Structure 1
Amino acid sequence: MSAPGVVMVEAAPSAALRPYATRLTAYGEHHGAPVTRSEAAIPGAVLILAFGTPMEVGGRRLTAFAGGLGDRFTVTRTPGPTEGVQVLLTPFGARRLFGVPMRHLTNLVLPAGDVLGPWAADAVERLAATPSWQERLALADRLLVARVRRGPELGPEVPWAWARLLESGGRVRAPELAASLGWSHRHLVARFQDQVGLPPKTAARVIRFGRAVRLLRSGAAPARVAAECGFYDQAHLNREFRVLGDLTPGQIRPRPRGGRAAS
């Protein structure tokens, strides 16, 4: 998807990368004036391997950077031309790629080199020297697969619980997940904070918000979305949209039939 001043080419991760990443996007931005955006919370982590003018992210000037999961929106400002590859990671892909407990990255964005060491600078240099969008995406995929395979092995329990949350749109409660795993609630929270970065209840909020956005884009009315997603009422829906996305449900416009999202 592209917009004025923006070129974006997306690719699905390879089979080897698919358990760890959900999307790869090569992009270039060149606007006539600085552009400020509010980036909504998502149920995943982000890695930006960029070159060009540094962006302002949460008040910091960064070029290549990594961010963990969060429970609030993040303000970004693009003051000049920039390009690179954006990687959307699953929590477990981020845990293996970054090699640190995800609680250390909750609601944080850090220079990629602080998280990934010299690998980040080498990856950016190689991507910058690759002129083709598709070749950049293929190179990023290969580099990520090689790096993530060196990361710590993770057990199946938290990924299973995470999948249950995703499947339910965030409506499965933490005590139910803990009981299914034979764990205490405290142990479940500790494992989530290590491998996801958010406790299960907060992760469910972010997942529920994402489902609500998708339903609104499909044309569902806000009242129906509030009921289907498990919000207490319309006011609760509105509050969550402000905190997690810096917007209101009314600002999410349905996708035109046969076209792309308008918002």
Structure 2
Amino acid sequence: MSTLGLAMVEATPSPALRPYVTRLTAYHEHYERPVTRSEAAMPGAVLILGFGAPTEVDGRPVTSFAGGLGDRFTLTRTSEPAEGVQVFLTPFGARRLYDLPMRHLTNVVVPVEDVLGPWARAAVARLAETPSWTDRLALADRLLARRILTGPELGPEVPWAWARLLGSGGALRVSRLADSLGWSHRHLVARFHDQVGLTPKAAARVIRFERAARLVRAGTPIAEVAASCGFYDQAHLNREFRALGDLTPGQIRPRPGKPPRAD
């Protein structure tokens, strides 16, 4: 494919995969000159099953890579044509897929073979041999479902607490979560570290940032976003956007005459 720019096709995960994967995307990117991006922190983990030229992630060249949740932005740089499948995992999808405590992947990106071994090499080879993007996404869905469903079973407590945090936009107090579960604060933090990779407080911070960014993109006044998302003031909102996204609210706010971005 010689077309310049970024081309993407997205598929809805199959029912068996939906508790663990939120999005599956086939992509191809090719630019006239190197492109550097700041990838914002998000309440999920990203897996790239890629082929073609490597991408620099925080200065490290990798083609297929895995990462956990983080509470900072990540710098990427694309110089040559690359393509593959991008997988957006829930924390619990990542925990079952990688079968290791998620605290080992907090703010970290590693070559996918480091966490998935021969399975990753075989999966990438099969995806690369599948020319149709629709077929490629269907194959990725099947491969991921088989792998994740053979991973370790997780108890319901942390997924319940995570869902409560998401539903509150990161506003729910950690003490309330612990009390509702009948756990100590220390036990809740330990279980979050294992299954999510962040403490509940850090997870709430990332969730709140994502909600605020979504509202700003939709055209909500910035002062209203700061108040409704629980920031102390607009200056606090700006600091969080810089720390977690390497941008300011004004950089993503829709301009007059332009429709809001869909993402």
The two structures share one fold, judged by TM-score above 0.5: yes
Is residue 188 of structure 2 the alignment partner of residue 188 of structure 1?
Answer: yes
Which residue is equivalent to 1:97? 97
Scaled by the length of structure 1, what TM-score is found?
A: 0.96
On the 8 A contact 1:57/1:75 being kept in 2, the answer is yes
What's the offset of the Cα at 1:258? 10
The unaligned stretches of length 5 or more in structure 1 are none
Amino acid at match of 1:26: A
Q: Among the aligned pairs, what percent are the same residue?
A: 74
Q: 1:262 to 1:157 in 2, by over 3 A?
A: closer
Q: Distance in 2 between matches of 1:36 and 1:262?
A: 22
Query: What are the equivalent positions in structure 2 for 1:179-218 lying under 5 Å apart?
Result: 179-218=179-218
Instruction: Figure out how many residues of one structure are paired with residues of the other and give that number.
Output: 261
1:15-65 alpha-carbon deviations (Å, 9 max, x no partner): 010000000000000111111000000000010000000000011100000
Q: Distance in 2 between matches of 1:189 and 1:54?
A: 36
RMSD, aligned α-carbons: 1.7
Which residue is equivalent to 2:252? 252
Amino acid at match of 1:54: P
Amino acid at match of 2:35: V
Moved more, 158-167 or 246-255: 246-255
What's the offset of the Cα at 1:218? 1.2
Q: Distance in 2 between matches of 1:207 and 1:246?
A: 16
Q: Distance in 1 between matches of 2:34 and 2:112?
A: 23
Amino acid at match of 2:142: R
1:115-154 alpha-carbon deviations (Å, 9 max, x no partner): 1011111111000000001111000000000000110000
Query: What are the equivalent positions in structure 2 for 1:63-212 lying under 5 Å apart?
Result: 63-212=63-212
Which residue is equivalent to 1:62? 62
Divergent runs of 4+, >4 A:
255-260
The unaligned stretches of length 5 or more in structure 2 are none
SS of the residue aligned with 1:38?
strand
What's the offset of the Cα at 1:253? 2.6
SS of the residue aligned with 2:158?
helix
On the 8 A contact 1:255/1:262 being kept in 2, the answer is no
Q: Distance in 2 between matches of 1:19 and 1:207?
A: 18
Q: Distance in 2 between matches of 1:258 and 1:188?
A: 44
What's the offset of the Cα at 1:252? 1.0
Moved more, 212-221 or 183-192: 212-221
On the 8 A contact 1:255/1:261 being kept in 2, the answer is no
On the 8 A contact 1:256/1:262 being kept in 2, the answer is no
Which residue is equivalent to 1:234? 234
Q: 1:62 to 1:226 in 2, by over 3 A?
A: same
What's the offset of the Cα at 1:254? 3.0
SS of the residue aligned with 2:76?
strand
What's the offset of the Cα at 1:242? 0.3
SS of the residue aligned with 1:88?
strand
Scaled by the length of structure 2, what TM-score is found?
A: 0.96
Q: Distance in 1 between matches of 2:249 and 2:27?
A: 28
